[in-house]
Structure 1
Amino acid sequence: MPSARSNGLDLYYETFGSDHDPALLLVMGMGEQLLGWPEEFCRRLADRGFHVIRFDHRDVGASTWLDDLGDVDVKALFTGDTSTVRYTFTDLVADTVGLITALGLSRVHLAGVSMGAGIAQQIAIDHPPLVASLASVSGTTSDPAVRESTISDPSVLLPSPGADRDAAIEAEVVLYRAIGSSAVSDEELLRRAIAKVDRAHHPAGVLRHLAANATATDRTEGLRAVWVPTVVIHGGDDPLLGLRGARATAEATGADLVVVPGMAHDLPEHAWNPIIDAIARNAAAKTAS
């Protein structure tokens, strides 16, 4: 199993394409394993001339789990009590920067989804020499004023620590039926859920991710100073993070906003080509500075 030592942790990663091509690091969202970047999607990116890298964040998938840190009090967190936050959004950013360094990469193209978009944004703010281009997908600036959600039952976002395999699989299906694209079939949702649960079911880590994401601060001012080529990509039907946050990100960076019709808070197959085209086009752009 390929893993790299970053920030004192072992981060599992997989690659696609030739390592002679420019590196494209894919940063997944809160609680998601690298499976959130479908294998065929990664192969298509590699076919566009990238050395594609997907990885598991800390506490999910095959990377280091941190159960010794303790659980998160979710009810307290929702009241603003952060006393049981076990690590922060900044730590997740540092993990990703450490992975870039551990892989011996001096500069990478970055594409992040949801919380991963925030991580990628923060790296572009704090470490611009590391970033060749930035693609922010299904993300926001973390400004509370642009927060937008139409999810009627937020409890679907929370995994159940005591769930058995069948219950965990069903919860994944329910989650992505609530936040995902309507074009994705029930059979495909079930296939993805089984793959995720059977690979690494770790709800305590997902909840620690939730708590870490809650510590992210508004990046708007920092994004105004980002000078690397940037594109903002968002689903036109995203019920979890609506277009308001995407528009704010695009406005702050001066980036193009690509809205994908029929795409919600996921990566449905019909959206792959528009997303890949936007990433490749942006990566080919000249640096603004």
Structure 2
Amino acid sequence: MKEYNLKTREGRWRHFGSVDPIKGTKPTEKELMMDLQSSKKDFLFEIDHVGIKNLTYPVRIGDFQTVGNFSLSTHLAKDEKGINMSRILESVESHYENGLTLDFDTLKKVLITLQTAMKQKNASVEVEGVWFFDRYSPITNLKAVGHADTTFEMTVADEEVISQSLTIKAQVTTLCPCSKEISEYSAHNQRGVVTVKADLAEELPADYKEQMLEAMEINASSMLYPILKRTDEKSVTERAYENPRFVEDLLRLIAADLVELPFIKGFEIECRNEESIHQHDAFARLKYSK
């Protein structure tokens, strides 16, 4: 067995099995390499979406920087074998400015860039990210950072927005009306999870996210707060007792508020209570189109 100088990195590599590169016969210049994706013939079907998923990328939502999880895709014509995946990242990178601003105006620009680069008739994006915002305690007015999960979705065709939607998932407090009614004192409560997916008009007010979140939280027995002092806790506890909610109640009240928001064309809502006196959850769901 050949001995190698273990005091050098190359020697150690050789000792652990590294070998010289194989001298190949295929071209190394891009212009001479075969481009399989650009092959043109009958490939049987056009494809609605082809692209990448689970792209982790820095984004800004409002005043805070966070992380987005992206899924980006384009249409693929019947006579084309595939797409050039690298152009997807190039399209995103071309709009990077200390993070990608996560709003629909920016996403539209990214998709138009992608659609143009791919020479396809449409392009789509879905981005999941945590939205951080300032939240003040109800009595002492102490500021801390609250959060909600968001998912932005958009499809563009011929540089026009075909659809755009925002999903917000937030947590609230719900107090059981039945427990309050039948008990001599107290009532059981639990953390509720509210998810709203709204189909949105292209023209949006600056505070569209805040208006959606307010409809979700204000109709609950109580909002959740990062910081609560004793006077705040008293206020939150009493407000919850004054506003008991079944999941059915919460669902209908949120829906009534969303119907009144002119920039929302339709929505899906799910309310789920993580029951405090059962081993199961309770949920309600509805879908509405204006």
TM-score by length of 1: 0.28
Give the strand-richer structure, 1 or 2: 2
The structure with the largest alpha-carbon Rg is 2
Give the helix-richer structure, 1 or 2: 1
- Relative contact order higher in (CA < 8 Å, ≥ 6 apart): 1
